Structure 1
Amino acid sequence: MASTSSDRLLTMGEVAEWLGTGERFPRRLVAERRIRFVKVGRHVRFPESAVREFIEAQTIEVVDRRGWCA
């Protein structure tokens, strides 16, 4: 998914806050190449759309179990 020109770039701290984690987790996502990011010199930034896509990809939908035998 390509980012748009109006896509805001987020800092490591902002991404950590969005995800409700410390900065170590987004750093690990970068190291493991599990999230799209941009290098600006030696700084790492995340397109807002990349964070939304990551969250969406990690979201588990509810399963309707009413039809199952218990």
Structure 2
Amino acid sequence: MTTRHLNQTELAVRWTVSPRTLERWRFTGEGPQFMKIGGRVAYRLEDVEAYEVEQTRQATPGVRRSPNDGVAA
């Protein structure tokens, strides 16, 4: 079984973020797990997909909805 990897540019395109954002996330410990091989950064596709699943939300934390939200008057 071959493991698929994405480089920084490929992941940036996938998520429509700048490569610099991914660099910052690696520095701050955010984002998906990554590997560094010979100075090059690689993201395993399975780690990227797991991270995407972890980011799935029903609502934004801290935002309270009133019982009448979405109800026509």
**TM-score of the superposition, structure 2-length normalised?**
0.70
Distance in structure 1 (CA, Å) of the matches to 2:45 and 2:7 = 10
Q: Which has the larger radius of gyration?
A: 2
Unaligned runs of 5+ in 2: 60-65, 69-73
Unaligned runs of 5+ in 1: 63-67
Distance in structure 1 (CA, Å) of the matches to 2:24 and 2:3 = 23
Which residues of 2 match residues 17-36 of structure 1 at below 5 A? 17-34=13-30, 35-36=32-33
**TM-score of the superposition, structure 1-length normalised?**
0.72
Name the SS for the 1:6 alignment partner. Answer: coil
Could you list the per-position Cα deviations for residues 30-65 of structure 1 after superposition, in whole angstroms to 9, with x for gaps in the alignment?
112222001111111100111111211112136xxx
Distance in structure 2 (CA, Å) of the matches to 1:29 and 1:6 = 27
Equivalent AA in structure 1 for residue 23 of structure 2: R
* Paired position in structure 1 for 2:41: 44
**Which 4+ stretches in 1 moved above 3 angstroms?**
none
Figure out how many residues of one structure are paired with residues of the other and give that number.
61
Equivalent AA in structure 1 for residue 29 of structure 2: R
| RMSD, aligned α-carbons | 1.8
